[in-house]
Amino acid sequence: MWAPDALQKTLEDWLSVGPVHGVYWLGALDPEGDLSTMDLTTWHEALRIRVKALYVTMRTLYQQIAAPGTFLVSATRLGGQHGYDPSGAFAPLGGAVAGFTKTYKRERIDAMVKVVDFEAEANASDLAQIVIEETLRDPAAVEIGYKDGLRWTMSLEEQPAVDGQAGLTLDKDTVFVITGAAGSIVSAITADLAAVSGGTFYLLDLVPKPDPDNPDLGRFVSEKEALKRDLFARIQTRGERATPALVEKQLAALERAHAAQCAIDAVQAAGGRANYFSVNLTDADAVAHVINQVRQQSGRIDVLLHAAGMERSHLLPDKDPREFDLIFDVKSDGWFNLLHAIGKMPLKATVVFSSIAGRFGNAGQADYSSANDLLCKITSSFRTTRPATRALAIDWSAWGGIGMATRGSIPKMMELAGIDMLPPEAGIPLVRRELTVGGTRGEIVVGQRLGILLNEWDPTGGVEVSQSDDQKRLSAPGPMVAKVASMGIHQGLSIDTVLDPAVQPFLHDHQIDGTPVLPGVMGIEAFAEAALCMLPGWHIEAIENVNFL
C-alpha cells in the first residue's frame, strides 16, 4: 500500500488522464486478526490501509465522486449485519471504514455511497458480484449487509433500559477507570457515579492535575467576566500580545481544570478515592504506566469508561491530514492502548462514548465518525472476543447546557436540523442507569428528535417507480395489495391500493347505508400481504393480538 503522498500523486496522475467515476474500497475485507495479540505498529498499519488511505483517496477525488452517476462503495467483513448480531463484529476495524463512508454520503448526497458488509466466510466471486449489483440499485440505503442468504439494512428500535437481566452493582468496592475526565460532561457523569458508589476512581486526561488552591478555578464559575479581564491583563504584563482568542484559550484550559477538580471533589465527597493522572492516551508507554498502577493498587477494573475525544468540523477538502490524525487517533489509539495495557486483567464492563455522527455520519466529521464507529464495532466484537466483559457504546446526541456543543452557532444549527439537544438532567444519569438496571450490551443511541438524520435518502426508498403499473404490481397473492409506493428505512413500507367493488367484489357484501366499507378481516389480510411483499418466499405463520376497537 502506498504512503499518503505517493497515493495522492498516483490519483492526481490518473486524474490528469481522465475523470474517475467511482471507487470500490475493499481494504476492510481482509480480517485484521486478533486485536489482543496485535502490537501498536500493526494496529497503525491496519488502520492506515483501511481508513487513512480512504481519507487520502476521497479527499483527492472529492470533486469527482459527487454527482449522480458517481459512486463510493466500501466493503467490510463485520459479519453481514454490521456487528448487530449475537456474535458481534468479526473484523471490527471495518467500523472505521463504515463511519467514514456514512459521513462521505452526508457530504456528497447526490453520489451513490454505500458500505456493504459480508459474512466472515463470504467468497470472493459472490462478493464481487454483490458489490457491483449494489452500485447499480437502491440509492436509499447506505448500510447494507448480506447474511444467511438475505439482504439487510440498519434501523433503530426503541427499547427500555430495564430488560429483566441483572445489572452491575456499584458500591465502595467498584473500581472505575475514566478517560476524558476533565470534560464538563464526563466530570458530571463521574460525580453521578461517585455519588451512588463511593468507589475508587482512576481519572485520566491530558490536562495537568489541577491545583485545588488555584483561585481562578472558583472564579471561572462565579466571576467569569472579571476573570477574562484579568487574564487579558496578565498576558499584557508578560509582554505578549493579548487577543480575544488567546484569552479564550486560557479560559478553556481553566474550564477543563475546573471540571477535573469537580470530578475529584465529587469522588472524595462521596467517600471514594480519586486518583488523577495527566496522560496522553496516544502514548502507549504512558498509558501502560497508569494501568500498571491500577493493576498494583486494585487488581481489576469494574468499569472502563472511554470518553476522551475532540472534534473539529471541516468538510473533507478542508480537513488536512494532521487534523484527521489528531481527531481519529485520540479515540482509536487511546482505546487500543488501554485494552493492550489491560491485557488479561479482569475487566467487568466497558463504556465507550460515541455519537450520532458515528451512527449516521455527519458532514465535516469524517475523522470523528470513523473513530466513533470503530469503537462501536470493537465494542460489538467483545461479544465473542471478551464475553466476560459487558461492553456498551453510547451514541450521544449533542448535549445542551454543558459541553462543547453549547458554544457558538451549534445550538441554532441543531434546531434548524430538527435535532433536539440532550438536557443534562437526562444525560448525566444515563451511564449509571444502563450499567445498573439491565444487562444491555452493544450500541445505544441516546437522543430525542433526530431530525434530518432520519430523512430518507430517496423519496421512494429505492423502489423503481419508473416501472409500469403491471411491473410494479406485486406477486403476493390476494386482493388487497396493488403496488409499492415506497420502502423507507425509517418510514417503512407504503403500498397504494384502490378499493373498488368492481375489482374487489367482496365490498358489495359489506355496505353501510349503501356505501361499501372495508371489513376488518380484509384489513388484516392487507397487513399479511404487505408482510409478504417485504419478505418474498416467506409465509405467514400467524396473526395474533388483534383487537377491533
DSSP 459-475: TTTT--TTS-HHHHB--
Pairing outcome for strands 273-278 and 515-516: unpaired
Enumerate the β-bridge partners of residue 473. 483
What three-state secondary structure class fits 179? strand
- CB 199 within 8 Å of CB 170: yes
Q: Which residue, chain included where needed, has cell 469508561?
A: 305
Using DSSP, state whether 385 is helix, strand or coil: helix
- In the block, residue with C-alpha cell 449487509: 145
Task: Write the CB contacts of 547 (distance below 8 Å, at least 6 apart in sequence).
Answer: none
Q: Where are the beta strands (DSSP E) in 90-142?
A: 112-118
Is CATH 3.40.50.720 correct for 4-153? yes
CA distance 116 to 124: 14
List Cα–Cα distances, 165 to 157, 171, 380, 438, 455, in angstroms: 19, 19, 19, 5, 34
Residue 453: which of 353, 355, 362, 354 has the closest Cα? 362
Upper half-sphere CA count for residue 111 (Cβ side, 13 Å): 26
Q: What angle do CA 20, 56, 94 make, to 5 degrees?
A: 100
Cell 508507554 belongs to which residue? 285
How many Cα neighbours within 13 Å face the side chain of 95? 29
CA pair distance 76, 95, nearest whole angstrom:
8
Residue 191 — φ and ψ, nearest 5°?
-60, -40
Same fold, 4-153 and 175-211+256-449: yes
- Tens digits of pLDDT across the chain (549 residues): 568 889 999 999 999 999 999 999 999 999 999 999 999 999 999 999 999 999 999 999 999 999 999 999 999 999 999 999 999 999 999 999 999 999 999 999 999 999 999 999 999 999 999 999 999 999 999 999 999 999 999 999 988 888 889 999 999 999 999 999 999 999 999 999 999 999 999 999 999 999 998 888 888 878 878 888 888 888 888 888 888 888 888 888 888 999 999 999 999 999 999 999 999 999 999 999 999 999 999 999 999 999 999 989 999 999 999 999 999 999 999 999 999 999 999 999 999 999 999 999 999 999 999 999 999 999 999 999 999 999 999 999 989 888 766 666 778 888 888 999 999 999 999 999 999 999 889 999 998 899 999 999 988 887 766 554 444 444 556 788 777 788 888 888 888 888 888 888 888 888 899 899 888 888 898 888 888 887 777 888 999 998 887
DSSP E strands, 481-525: 483-488, 492-496, 511-512, 515-516
Measuring CA to CA, which residue among 81, 82, 91 is closest to residue 33?
91
User: Which residue, among 227, 295, 218, has the nearest Cα to 262 in the 3D structure?
Assistant: 218
Instruction: Name the phi and psi angles at 532, rounded to 5.
Output: -70, -30
Q: Is the dihedral of CA 537, 541, 545, 548 positive or negative?
A: positive
Domain 175-211+256-449 is found in CATH 3.40.50.720: yes
User: Domain map of the chain by residue range?
Assistant: 4-153, 175-211+256-449, 469-534
- H or E element, residue 263: helix 244-269
